[in-house]
């Protein structure tokens, strides 16, 4: 007997809709490897409709006073809390994430981040007005940009959706958000919640829209003439394509494109704490995190001891089904990602050593064992490229200079960490490391008040913080004559 698949739908101008041409794509539960839903495979007509709705809603939403935008976001945050269990269930079914960790590690930060941007809506700061030329007064207007086309990734569908829509709406923009084709379920549920709050407060229906689809759908959004800004979290390749496409009509672009975070461990560190924290930060969410602690650099004097301890800790970490309270992480997101992670291990050079793991777990779903690889060189593929899986690599360094060279010697520049009891050394490294974030004796915590974003091929623009809010505004100079 065939089980009927759940039907997910686009959310455009306050209504749930199928793709105009009826096309769909299957949504797979990565725990089982089996489809459980269908989602629209949106085409040009659907993107046109969503952009038209957002464009029509923009003038009224732009003119809503900041206090009312704050009220909307606060009510959205409250609604997310009230319907947290539904969001957790949707996210877990779509990604395979552990239910308990999704409840404690994702819902509270998401709600907090929405509330932060609710406050930011009322903090449109600019330089004070003044006379910088005799007889003339200048002042600054900080305004919303317009319609924002936003593309979220599959590793954190809910949270990355929040990072995109919350600052955009707070600043007075309207939104067309596209989730990944493998993880639309929680985003569609968020649309239902946000749409309900918009309706309750009497705001235009087209302020927030969700369009499901594949890469072609995303490409149509980026190329569409309506959006004034495009924001994407994804691969370097995708970001480069977006930047190239957006340049043709000079759209503003916001890119967060991945990382290869160095974790620099010196000989004076508290090894037990470092091993425990690094293993958690490396394997959390199956290593599917742009900031994951997956590239460890260890001083040669403690290298062997550290590798042994890290391998032991990794071997004790459990992956499994979402309802198992003992698991740290669930499956990889999709079959392609399983193949990618497996491929990195299969192609390891002869000088590399798999200390633990290195294989798929089970014959159903996309589970992969926590893996530690040592004996690597700086130019090895697995050091230079993002694995995006539960794989931690370990290299040895001789001194501070070599540690810095190794750490900076990749094309990514999103996040990093330094582990030492030497304050002066930590300060030197925090200056020398070319990454958007440097943690000291910790790795992976984020707060709404501080910016998240990288350099080099990790992209540009900031998420979270007042800097992230500013990215969704434009600055206008107004000058007036004092003589009438």
Residue 86 designated active-site: no
Task: Report phi then psi at 423, rounded to 5.
Answer: -60, -45
Who's near 293: CB < 8 A, 6+ residues apart? Answer: 261, 263, 277, 278, 281, 282, 392, 417, 443, 444
| Alpha-carbon dihedral sign for residues 33, 34, 35, 36 | negative
| Alpha-carbon dihedral sign for residues 195, 196, 200, 201 | negative
Contact between 319 and 368 under an 8 Å Cβ cutoff? The reply is yes
Q: How far is 85 from 364, CA to CA, in rounded Å?
A: 26
| Alpha-carbon dihedral sign for residues 280, 399, 394, 404 | positive
Q: Pick the catalytic residue: 55, 106, 223, 256? A: 256
Q: Pick the catalytic residue: 148, 212, 290, 437? A: 290
Residue 290 designated active-site: yes
Contact between 136 and 219 under an 8 Å Cβ cutoff? The reply is no
User: CB burial class (10 A; 0-12, 13-18, 19+) of residue 63?
Assistant: exposed
Task: Report phi then psi at 363, rounded to 5.
Answer: -115, 15
Annotated active-site positions, please? Answer: 256, 290
């Amino acid at each position: 007997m065939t089980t009927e698949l759940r039907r997910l739908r686009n959310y455009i101008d306050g209504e749930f809709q199928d793709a105009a041409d009826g096309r769909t794509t299957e949504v797979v539960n990565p725990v089982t490897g089996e489809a459980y839903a269908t989602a629209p495979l949106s085409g040009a007509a659907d993107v046109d409709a969503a952009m038209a709705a957002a464009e029509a809603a923009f003038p009224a939403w732009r003119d809503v006073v900041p206090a009312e935008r704050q009220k909307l976001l606060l009510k959205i945050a409250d609604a997310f809390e009230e319907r947290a269990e539904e969001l957790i269930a949707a996210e877990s079914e779509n990604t395979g994430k552990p239910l308990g960790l999704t409840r404690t590690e994702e819902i509270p930060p998401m709600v907090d981040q929405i509330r932060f941007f609710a406050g930011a809506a009322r903090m449109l700061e600019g330089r004070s007005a003044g006379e910088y030329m005799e007889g003339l007064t200048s002042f600054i207007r900080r305004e919303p940009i317009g319609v924002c086309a936003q593309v979220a990734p599959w590793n954190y569908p809910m949270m990355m959706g929040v990072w995109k829509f919350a600052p955009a709406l707070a600043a007075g923009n309207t939104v067309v958000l596209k989730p990944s084709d493998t993880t639309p379920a929680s985003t569609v549920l968020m649309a239902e919640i946000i749409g309900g709050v918009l309706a309750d407060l009497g705001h235009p229906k087209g302020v927030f829209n969700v369009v499901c689809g594949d890469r072609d759908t995303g490409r149509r959004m980026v190329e569409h003439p309506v959006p004034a800004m495009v924001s994407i979290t994804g691969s370097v390749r995708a970001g480069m394509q977006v930047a190239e496409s957006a340049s043709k009509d000079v759209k503003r672009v916001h890119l967060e494109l991945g990382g290869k975070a160095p974790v620099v461990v010196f000989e004076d560190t508290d090894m037990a704490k470092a091993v425990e924290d690094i293993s958690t930060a490396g394997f959390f969410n199956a290593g599917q995190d742009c900031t994951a602690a997956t590239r460890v650099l260890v001083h040669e004097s403690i290298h062997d001891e550290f590798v042994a301890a890290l391998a032991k800790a990794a071997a004790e970490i459990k992956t499994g089904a979402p309802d198992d309270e003992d698991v740290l992480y669930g499956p990889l997101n999709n079959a392609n990602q399983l193949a990618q992670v497996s491929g990195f291990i299969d192609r390891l050079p002869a000088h590399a050593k798999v200390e633990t793991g290195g294989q798929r777990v089970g014959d159903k779903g996309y589970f992969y064992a926590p893996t530690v690889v040592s004996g690597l060189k700086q130019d090895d593929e697995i050091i230079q490229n993002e694995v995006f899986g539960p794989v931690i690599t370990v290299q040895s360094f001789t001194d501070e200079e070599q540690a810095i060279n190794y750490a900076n010697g990749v094309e990514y520049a999103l996040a990093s960490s330094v582990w030492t009891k030497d304050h002066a050394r930590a300060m030197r490294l925090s200056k020398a490391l070319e990454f958007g974030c440097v943690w000291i004796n910790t790795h992976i915590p984020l707060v709404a008040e501080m910016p998240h974003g990288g350099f080099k091929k990790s992209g540009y623009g900031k998420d979270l913080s007042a800097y992230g809010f500013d990215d969704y505004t434009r600055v206008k100079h107004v000058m007036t004559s004092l003589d009438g």
